[in-house]
A and B are shown apart, each in its own frame.
Chain A
Amino acid sequence: MKRREFIKGGLLLGAAGLGGALSLGALRPAAALPPTGAASGARRWGLVIDLDKYNQSADREKIAALCHRRHNVPDIPDTKTEIKWIWEDDFAHSFAEMESPYLSDRIKEMRFPVLCNHCAEPACVKVCPTQATFQRPDGIVNMDYHRCIGCRFCMAGCPFGARSFNFFDPRPYIAEIDPLYPTRTGGVVEKCTFCVERLTAGLPPYCVEAAAGAIIFGDLSDPASEARRALASGFAIRRKAELGTEPSVYYLLGGGGGDA
């Protein structure tokens, strides 16, 4: 099974390196294998983070650790050059525009997982001069590491700081290379991909798996999806929604008991 996955992944990446049309075509089957088992042809994948569950019961450290280990994200100690796909921050920084002098202690102490928002109107895709960053038909903003010229225009364009640049060869900083996922070369940008390689295999993203119910993945265009039902159960906010990039990551407060 692992061997099959590996070959599948290899084929996928090989195609991605060949060219835009071809790689898009090769990646498209992802949408045909939705992890939720819902109707095929998902239009917009998204995440709903149930903040209460996440802060109370989730094994928070495991989430980023699993994601980074499985995606060969290097562990670079210098915060100026570090690479991160998913990490935590507090409300005051991840939602700076909503700052309040009288924030409740509950919110103040809450940790907020932050990652690529897979925006419906992604600024990074718009500015990329080579389409190395592109949007798939299912809404996922993905990257072709073999096409990226490392101009970092996408990093200037992204208002969420979700992108990391390989300032040097990342491989020496990977404790144990996972052969199921490619490592990156120096000089390219990278970020969360909503685990497209997992979706292809009909599996949910690693963060969703590790969060044990605190992070819900689903098709935002389907009112019956788990994600949409979770959104309907409470009050959800998005980072910097006023910028019009239409983030697909929602932060749910007071979700309806978490049975969504």
Chain B
Amino acid sequence: MLEKALSGSRRYYGWLAFLGIVIVVGVIAYCRQFSHGLGLTGMSRDVTWGLYISQFTFLVGVAASGVMVAIPYYLHNYKAFAKIVILGEFLAVAAVLMAMLFIFVDLGQPVRVLNVLLHPTPHSVMFWDMCVLCGYLVLNILIGWTALGAEKKGFPPPRWTKTLAYIAIPWAVSIHTVTAFLYAGLPGRYYWLSAIMAARFLSSAFAAGPALLILLCLIVRRYSSFKASDESIGALAKIVCYAMITNVFFFLLEVFTAFYSNIPGHKAALLYLFFGLEGHANLVPFMWLAALLAFFGILLLTVPKWRRGKKTLPAALVAVFAACWLDKGLGLILGGFVPNSFERVVEYIPTVNEILVVMGVYGIGFFVLTILYKVAVAIRETGKGGPEAPTPLPEQ
């Protein structure tokens, strides 16, 4: 089926070439980091995780969000999602791949990464995270690829793919819960030490992921004959809306607990993020921008007319996605390290080399995503079922 990715328009090849350049630059930047060490990044002994780990965290959420398409389709037989369920699965594949790469580029001794397998350590959440991420990657590749292969031949997918799809649903929830547990169980990091962390992770994931998926559907709809229906996009937009409201609500719960209890440790990170601490305020504009975008996005998505609008819907989705990225792909990880163990504020500013590596990883992710989407679209366009035929669902 992969041969479908080899023929495409000039725009398609141009896009791949652009991604290729981004990847090459990223790989060169990573080679520099590999030989010089992580000193080439903006991380320090006080802020020991930076953009790499925050992108990892954010992308695990994007991967998990595929479940928001899978649940209505597989559990409730919601036919409108039949066509786009494959796009959700392939987005999950690309997102998990990027998440794993971000862990890899963050390692000080990357050649020893297999020590995690050689010395399996069940008391480390990192070990479990690796297990669930690898499992989720395999599940989504298997389900998506097999269903697509069957569709190409004009057959319904084998029954075992549906069993796997059922397994993938709680599995998706698990990947983001376990990722939240990486942070939520650490003593002394009060911004993370919160029971609602996993719930917050899931809600922001279920807002940002489907928001990205709709945007991708709109792009695919524009440039190919693969048309996601208005109904499916409308349903997804409602999911984004509710998830984002829940996400903001959960965040405000944190704010209440921190400030009503008045416990300094719980207030410190929030104060740092939104007002600055001891004269350090690098993240303040980003966090207020996130807040603004969150409310703007929710407003547009709540009013039905705007949620359906040709221009307002993409604007709302971009706003929600950006708000979630700023909150989780930036503030959450960096804020957790402020103040440090000695109640001092040390700030983190990523270096150019670090940003190039980040872009390289995103480049790889989007390259894989483009190939997978291209194959899916090509099969829908030329497959025996024709563009209108959704993945046939075995009898319920």
Query: Taking beta carbons and an 8 Å cutoff, which residues of A are in contact with B?
Result: 20, 79-82, 89, 92-94, 96-97, 123, 126-132, 147-153, 155-161, 163-169, 185-189, 240, 243-245
Contact = CB atoms under 8 A, between A and B. Distances in A.
B184 to A, nearest CB: 12
B108 A186 contact: yes
B121 A130 contact: yes
Interface string B32-49: 000011110001111011
Q: Which of B43, B127, B188 has the most CB of A within 10 A?
A: B188
25 contacts: A80-B45, A82-B45, A89-B342, A123-B186, A123-B187, A127-B124, A127-B126, A128-B124, A129-B124, A129-B130, A132-B115, A147-B112, A149-B113, A152-B48, A155-B45, A159-B188, A159-B341, A165-B38, A165-B45, A165-B108, A166-B37, A168-B38, A187-B38, A187-B109, A243-B187
Interface SS, B side: loop
B124 A152 contact: no
Contacts of A132: 115
B312 interface: no
Contact of B46 (A80, A92, A94, A97): A80
Nearest to A152: B48
B115 A147 contact: yes
A111 B123 CA distance: 36
B38 A150 contact: yes
Contacts of B189: 156, 159
Contacts of A189: 108
Contacts of B187: 123, 157, 159, 240, 243-245
Contacts of A160: 341
B116 interface: yes
Interface residues on B, range: 35 or more
A156 B49 contact: yes
Contacts of A167: 37-39, 43
Given A129-B121, A168-B39, A161 B116 contact: no
A149 B109 contact: yes
A161 B112 contact: no
B6 to A, nearest CB: 37
A126 B127 CA distance: 11
Contacts of B278: none
A70 B182 CA distance: 35
Nearest to B333: A156
A155 B48 contact: yes
Contacts of B115: 130, 132, 147, 149
A129 B113 CA distance: 10
Contacts of A81: 39, 44-45
A130 B116 contact: yes
B44 A157 contact: no
Contacts of A147: 112, 115, 119
Contacts of A82: 45
B126 to A, nearest CB: 4
A198 to B, nearest CB: 25
B346 interface: yes
Contacts of A159: 186-189, 341
B119 A165 contact: no
B55 to A, nearest CB: 15
B109 A96 contact: no
A166 B130 CA distance: 24
Contacts of A163: 45
B124 A187 contact: no
Contact of B343 (A96, A165, A186, A188): A96
A21 B183 CA distance: 29
Contacts of A165: 38, 45, 48, 108
Interface in B261-307: 265
> Which of A97, A152, A156, A188 is most buried by chain B, counting CB atoms within 10 A of its CB?
A156
Nearest to A93: B342
A187 B104 CA distance: 13
B37 A168 contact: yes
B126 A129 contact: yes
Contact of B116 (A79, A149, A157, A166): A149
B36 A168 contact: yes
B49 A187 contact: no
Contacts of A157: 186-187
B340 interface: yes
B178 to A, nearest CB: 12
Nearest to A157: B186
B265 to A, nearest CB: 8
A154 to B, nearest CB: 9
A155 B340 CA distance: 11
Contacts of B182: 153
Contacts of B43: 167
B254 interface: no
A118 to B, nearest CB: 16
A89 B343 CA distance: 11
Given A126-B124, A149-B112, A156-B49, 8 more contacts: A127-B124, A130-B115, A149-B109, A150-B110, A150-B112, A153-B182, A156-B336, A167-B38
Contact of A152 (B49, B110, B121, B342): B49
Contacts of A148: 108-109, 112
Nearest to B115: A130
A192 to B, nearest CB: 14
Nearest to A245: B187
Contacts of B346: 80
Contact of A127 (B44, B107, B125, B344): B125
B324 to A, nearest CB: 22
A25 to B, nearest CB: 16
B89 interface: no
